[in-house]
């Protein structure tokens, strides 16, 4: 029969495995580091895998294909459910490092403690390691799904890789209460503006904060965000913070 079914462009596929994870029916798997449509009869043609793909490698086509077999899909899902927890996590294949995850951090606020224990609390605070403020995974611009649910209503932080190493209080100062995306415009052979445009256009982003290093090559990430904001057609508050190579904030501009 002729019907709508997904098509995967191997040239665009980066092997992240997010589509295989999103395909609950098990139609997609990873073969030699690339996503493959393993069974036509497992693909319902609804395209849950499309928004999960960070590179736009998946599209629809109409061609001769076996009809969607719901009974076979349910049997396959039941068989997978009997596997161990680890096997279920990796059933889709691909790189676990690019699997989407959300971390429920409490919104930042002024912490308080009982007056009688203030001295003890201060001493404990000095000895405690800072808590991570990261709210989602993945953080690489290239790997983040365009329509990830954590983007809705988000304050977006777009940072150059080196900034987190240069500035000591990066989590508290910049990541806290933000959804974080990072990249290196010099080392990554990709135009960030295209991906960022889609993220801003397709989600309810509240604000954008760019954090870059003072080195000239880092201007690429600032320019990518500028272009993305213009191309998205949205008017969103944004600012740029520049970090020196010695780890100090040089300036913040709106």
pTM value? 0.60
- Give the angle 20-22-27 at the CA atoms, nearest 5°: 50
- By mean pLDDT, which of 4-8, 12-16, 188-192 is the weakest? 188-192
- Say how far apart CA 222 and CA 80 lie, in whole Å: 45
pLDDT at 113 over 50: no
Question: What is the rounded average pLDDT for all residues in the chain?
Answer: 84
Average pLDDT, integer, range 61-67: 93
Residue 108: pLDDT band with limits 50, 70, 90? low
Residue 236: pLDDT band with limits 50, 70, 90? very high
Q: Are 199 and 144 in contact (CB under 8 A)?
A: yes
Nearest Cα neighbor of 208 from 194, 224, 220, 219 is 224
Residue 235: pLDDT band with limits 50, 70, 90? very high
Average pLDDT, integer, range 62-76: 90
**Dihedral of the alpha carbons of 160, 226, 155, 21, in degrees to the nearest 10:** -70
The pLDDT assigned to 92 comes to 43
The pLDDT assigned to 163 comes to 97
Decide which of 26 and 93 is more confident.
Answer: 26
Decide which of 147 and 220 is more confident.
Answer: 220
| Locus of tokens 């954008």 | 208
Q: How many residues does the chain have?
A: 254
pLDDT at 112 over 50: no
Average pLDDT, integer, range 226-248: 96
Helices (H), the chain: 18-22, 70-81, 85-89, 118-127, 163-166, 170, 192-202, 219-232
Distances in Å between the Cα of 35 and the Cα atoms of 28, 79, 195 are 7, 22, 20
The pLDDT assigned to 222 comes to 95
């Amino acid at each position: 029969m002729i019907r709508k079914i997904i098509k995967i462009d191997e040239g665009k596929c980066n092997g992240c495995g997010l589509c295989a994870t999103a395909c609950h029916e098990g139609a997609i798997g990873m073969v030699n580091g690339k996503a493959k449509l393993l069974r036509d009869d497992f693909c319902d043609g609804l395209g849950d895998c499309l928004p999960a793909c960070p590179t736009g490698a998946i599209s629809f086509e109409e061609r001769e294909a076996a009809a969607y077999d719901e009974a076979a899909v349910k049997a396959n899902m039941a068989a997978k459910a009997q596997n161990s927890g680890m096997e279920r996590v990796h059933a889709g294949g691909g790189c676990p490092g690019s699997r989407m995850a959300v971390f429920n951090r409490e919104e930042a606020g002024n912490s308080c403690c009982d007056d009688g224990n203030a001295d003890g609390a201060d001493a404990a605070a000095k000895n405690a390691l800072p808590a991570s403020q990261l709210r989602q995974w993945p953080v690489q611009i290239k790997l983040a799904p365009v329509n990830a649910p954590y983007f809705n209503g988000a304050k977006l932080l777009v940072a150059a890789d080196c900034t987190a190493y240069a500035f000591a209080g990066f989590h508290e100062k910049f990541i806290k209460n933000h959804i974080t995306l990072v990249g290196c415009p010099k080392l990554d052979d990709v135009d960030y503006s295209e991906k960022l445009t889609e993220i801003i256009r397709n989600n309810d982003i509240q604000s954008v904060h760019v954090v870059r290093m003072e080195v000239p090559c880092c201007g690429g990430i600032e320019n990518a965000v500028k272009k993305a904001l213009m191309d998205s057609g949205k008017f969103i508050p944004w600012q740029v913070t520049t970090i020196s190579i010695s780890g100090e904030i040089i300036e913040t501009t709106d």
